[in-house]
Structure 1
Amino acid sequence: MNLDHIAETYVKLVLAVGEHDESYVDAYIGPAAWRDDAKTQAVSLNALLAQADALIAHSKSLPPAPQDQTERHVFLGLQIAAVRAHIAFLNGTVLPFDEESKVLYDAVSPTLTPADLDKTLAELDGLLPGEGDLNQRLSHYNKQFEIPRDKLDAVFSAAINEARARTRRYIALPDNESFSVEYVSGKVWSAYNWYKGNSHSLIEVNTDFPMFISRAIDLASHEAYPGHHVFNVLIENELVKEKGWIEYAIYPLYSPMSFLAEGSANYGIEVAFPHAERMAFEKEVLFPLAGIDPEKAERYYQIQAVLQRLSYAGNMVAKRYLDGEIDRETAINMLMTYSLSDAERSAQRIRFIEKLRSYVINYNLGQDVVQAYIEQRAGTQDQDKRWAVLTDLLRQPKSASMMLT
C-alpha cells in the first residue's frame, strides 16, 4: 500500500461507517460508485473495526512520505484513528469525555470548575441592568436585540454578502462558487452548512428561537465566508481536484477535521470583521435592517465580549453530564447558571450534547488554538498577514497537535 491507496481505502471505510450512522458523513464529493457500493454492501461493525485496525497498521508501516506530503500522512493517520474510535463507539465502547475528544479531535478541553466562572458572572452582574437572577436579567435585556422573523432574511443576507465581499478581497475563489439559504426548524444546532460539491453549499438556519443581532455576522462568517463554505471550496478545488488527495473528498463529522473546521470558522469571524469595522457595519446596516436602535450596539457588544468568556462552561457541563457525574436536569440548570442561556435554549444545548457529545470542544478550544496559531505567525494588527496565514491553514489542514507544535 502507498499513501494514495491508504487514502482511497480510508474513504471507502468512512462511507461504510456512514451506513451505520447517518450523521457521520458530513460531505462527500468522491466517486458516486464508491458511495453506491457502500449502500449495497452490509459490513458489520466488527468487520469495520478489523478493517480500521489493518488500515492503521498499513499507514504506520509506510516509509517516510515526501516532504510535501509529510503533514498529509500525519493528518490522515489521525483521521483513520478517529474513524476506528467512532466504529468502536457505535459497537458499544463509550470512552470518558476527555479520552473521546482526544482520539476524535486530537485535543482535550482545559479542566474548568464553576469557581473559575464566578468572576465573569460577577462582572456581568455589574453590566446588566436590574437586580436579582442574572439569567432572567440577561434574557430580558436580550429581548430588544432579537431580529424580527420577517426581517431575518434581509439581515442575514446582508451579513453574508458583506462577509463574502471581505473574504474575496483576500482569498481567490472559483467564479462559480455559490450557496443557498433555507430556514428550518426542529434542529439541535443554530445553523448548518451542507457542502454539496462543485463549489456550492446549502446553509440552513434554525428558526426554533429568535436570532439575536450578534448572530447574523457570526453565522454568516462561520457557515459561509471565510468559514465552512470557503474551507470546503478550497479543499475540493485545491486538494481533491488539483492534487488528487482523495481522502479530502469525504468529511467524517467526528474527526480532527472538525476541530480545524469549527475553530477556523469561529476565528474567521474576527479576521473578516475586526471589532471597529464590525461595529461600524452593524450600526450602519444590520441594526437598522433589523429595526434595532444602533445607539445600543456598543453596550450590547461589551456584554457579548464578557459572555464569550463563559464559553467553556458548555464543555464543563458536557463532560460532567456525559461522564455520568450529573443528571440531565442538573446539566440544564448548570447551563442556565454558567452559560446564562434560558431554559429552552439550555435544553436545546443538552440535546446537542447528547447527539454530538465531545464535539462541543471544537468551537471554543478550536477557536483558541487556531487563533494562537495564526497570531503567532501574523500578529493581531496586520490584516494581510492574518488572512494569508488563515488561508494557508485552510489549504493545508492541520490537527490540534500539529498546530500546537
Structure 2
Amino acid sequence: MTDSIVERYVRLGLRLDRRVEGTVDSYAGPPELAAEVAAGDLPGARALVDEAEALLTELPDSWLRDQVAGLRTCAGMLAGESRSYADEVHGYYGVRPSWTDESVFTEAHERLDALLPGTGPLAERLEEWRRSMLVPADRVESTVATVIAEARRWTGQLIELPPGEGVDLEFVREVPWNGYNTYLGDLRGRVEINVDRPMTGYQLLHLVLHETYPGHQAERAAKENLLVRGQGRLEETIVLAPTPQSLIAEGIGEIAPEQLLRGEAGAALAGIVRDSGVDLDLAHSLTLDEAVESCRWASVNAALMLHEHEAGAAEVSAYLQRWEMLNPEDAGRVIRFVTDPTSRTYSFNYPAGRRLCRAYAKAVPDGFRRLLTEQVRVGDLLRATV
C-alpha cells in the first residue's frame, strides 16, 4: 500500500469534515496536509463520493478499506442518497442494528429488583439508590484527578505508556455530555468533565476510566507511539467519527473500567471514591451495572422506532422511561442525540462496541491489549462472537 493512498484517505476525511463538521474527531497528522485542505475549495458532495469510490477500487480487503467504506457512506448521505437507518448504521460501522426483544429488559428488571432496596417502582428505587451514592459536588474535581493518576499507574501494567504521555484535565459546565477526550497529538489528550451533572461514585469511575486509562487516552497514545511513530502509519493520525474506528474506540472505552475494577486495581480505585465520602460497595455496583447494561439496548430500539417505525417523540420517551428506566429529562436527551443529524447513528457504538469488544477481549489471547495497540477490524470482533 503506497503512501499516496493513505494521504488520499486522510485528505478525504479532512475534506468531508469541511462539509460535515465533526466527521474528524481528532487529527494529529502533518499540519501542511490540513492546511492544504483548508485552503482548497469547498468540496462538492458527489466529488467526495467519487473520491471514496476511487479509493475503494484500489484498496485490498483491510482495516483502511473498512474506514473508507464508512466515509463513502457519509459522502453518499451528504449527496442525498436514500438509505434506511439500519443500512446507514451498517455503512458507517460495519454492524447492523437489530431490535432487542423486551424480554431482555424484563429479565434485567428482575435482577435489579433483587439488587435494589425497597419495594416501590423499580425506576424510583434505582434513582433513590443513585442519589444516595452521589459524590459531593465539592469533592468531584479532586476525586477525578486522583482517579486519573491511579488509573494511569495501573494501566502502565497493561501497555507501555511512553514518556511525555498524559492528559490536560478541565472541568466544564453547560455542555450536553458527561465527559470528552480530545486527542491533541504528541501523546497528549484534553479531558473535559462536566461538573453540572451529579455523578455516583461508580459513574465517576466509569466515566474517568472510559475517557482516560485504560480507555480513550490509552488507546490513542499507544497507537500514536506504536503505529504512527513506530510503523509510520499516517492513517492513525486521524480519527473519523462515521467509521468502524468509532465503534471500536467506544467499545474499548466501555470495557476499559472493568479491566481495572474487576482486578487488583479495583480496591485502590474504590478507596479513592470512598475517601470522597461515598460508601461505595464496588462488587454490588458492578453487579448492578451489569444488569442496567442490558437495558441500554432500549436506546437502540428507540432510534429504530424514530427512524424506521415512524414513532413519535412522546411514544419513544415513554418507551425509554419504561424499559431503560430513564427520567423524562434523560429520555429527552437520548431522543435529541439520536435525531441530531451529526449524532443520530453514533449512540449505537456504545452498546454494540461494548458487546463486541468484550467478546474479543475474552476470546483472543491478550485481546484487550491488542485492541489498544493494533488495527483490529470489526470483522475480527464479529468472528470472536461466533
TM-score by length of 2: 0.92
> Mapping of 1:81-96 within 5 angstroms?
81-96=69-84
Q: Residues 312-370 of structure 1, C-alpha deviation per residue, up to 9 Å, x if partnerless?
A: 12211122223243112222222211111222222222222223122222222212211
Q: Residues 108-163 of structure 1, C-alpha deviation per residue, up to 9 Å, x if partnerless?
A: 23431223311222332343333443222322221111122211111211221121
> Mapping of 1:186-265 within 5 angstroms?
186-265=174-253
Cα distance in 1 for residues equivalent to 2:311 and 2:175: 24
Name the CA shift for 1:10/1:298 in 2 (closer, same or farther; >3 Å). closer
Structure 1 residue 391 and structure 2 residue 360: aligned? Answer: no
Name the CA shift for 1:30/1:276 in 2 (closer, same or farther; >3 Å). closer
> Mapping of 1:4-403 within 5 angstroms?
4-41=3-40, 42-60=42-60, 74-274=62-262, 277-278=265-266, 280-281=267-268, 283-289=270-276, 291-294=277-280, 298-355=283-340, 356-378=343-365, 388-403=366-381
- 1:178 counterpart letter in structure 2: G
Larger CA deviation: 25-34 vs 351-360: 351-360
Name the CA shift for 1:116/1:403 in 2 (closer, same or farther; >3 Å). closer
Q: Residues 178-221 of structure 1, C-alpha deviation per residue, up to 9 Å, x if partnerless?
A: 10111223333221110000000001112342112112221222
Q: Residues 74-117 of structure 1, C-alpha deviation per residue, up to 9 Å, x if partnerless?
A: 11001001001111222333532321221111112343122331
Number of aligned residue pairs: give it.
380
Cα distance in 2 for residues equivalent to 1:287 and 1:251: 36
Name the CA shift for 1:324/1:111 in 2 (closer, same or farther; >3 Å). closer
SS in 2 for 1:196: strand
Q: Residues 49-98 of structure 1, C-alpha deviation per residue, up to 9 Å, x if partnerless?
A: 111111211225xxxxxxxxxxxx51100100100111122233353232
- 1:56 counterpart letter in structure 2: L
Query: Residues 356 and 382 of structure 2 are in contact (CA less than 8 Å); yes or no, is this contact kept in structure 1?
Result: yes
Cα distance in 1 for residues equivalent to 2:186 and 2:330: 35
Cα distance in 1 for residues equivalent to 2:107 and 2:96: 24
Name the CA shift for 1:19/1:339 in 2 (closer, same or farther; >3 Å). same
Cα distance in 1 for residues equivalent to 2:325 and 2:68: 37
Name the CA shift for 1:277/1:395 in 2 (closer, same or farther; >3 Å). closer
Query: Residues 182 and 190 of structure 2 are in contact (CA less than 8 Å); yes or no, is this contact kept in structure 1?
Result: yes
SS in 1 for 2:22: coil
- Structure 1's unaligned 5+ residue stretches are 61-72, 379-387
Query: Residues 75 and 398 of structure 1 are in contact (CA less than 8 Å); yes or no, is this contact kept in structure 2?
Result: yes
Q: CA deviation at 1:245?
A: 1.5
Cα distance in 1 for residues equivalent to 2:223 and 2:77: 28
- Structure 2's unaligned 5+ residue stretches are none
Q: Residues 234-254 of structure 1, C-alpha deviation per residue, up to 9 Å, x if partnerless?
A: 221221222122111111111
Cα distance in 1 for residues equivalent to 2:8 and 2:100: 39
SS in 2 for 1:19: helix
- 2:370 counterpart letter in structure 1: D
Identity %: 26
Cα distance in 2 for residues equivalent to 1:149 and 1:96: 44
Name the CA shift for 1:17/1:331 in 2 (closer, same or farther; >3 Å). same
Query: Residues 214 and 253 of structure 2 are in contact (CA less than 8 Å); yes or no, is this contact kept in structure 1?
Result: yes
Query: Residues 240 and 249 of structure 1 are in contact (CA less than 8 Å); yes or no, is this contact kept in structure 2?
Result: yes
SS in 1 for 2:124: helix
Runs of 4+ in 1 over 6 A off after TM superposition: none
- 1:37 counterpart letter in structure 2: E
Name the CA shift for 1:189/1:354 in 2 (closer, same or farther; >3 Å). farther
- 1:8 counterpart letter in structure 2: E
Q: CA deviation at 1:300?
A: 4.3
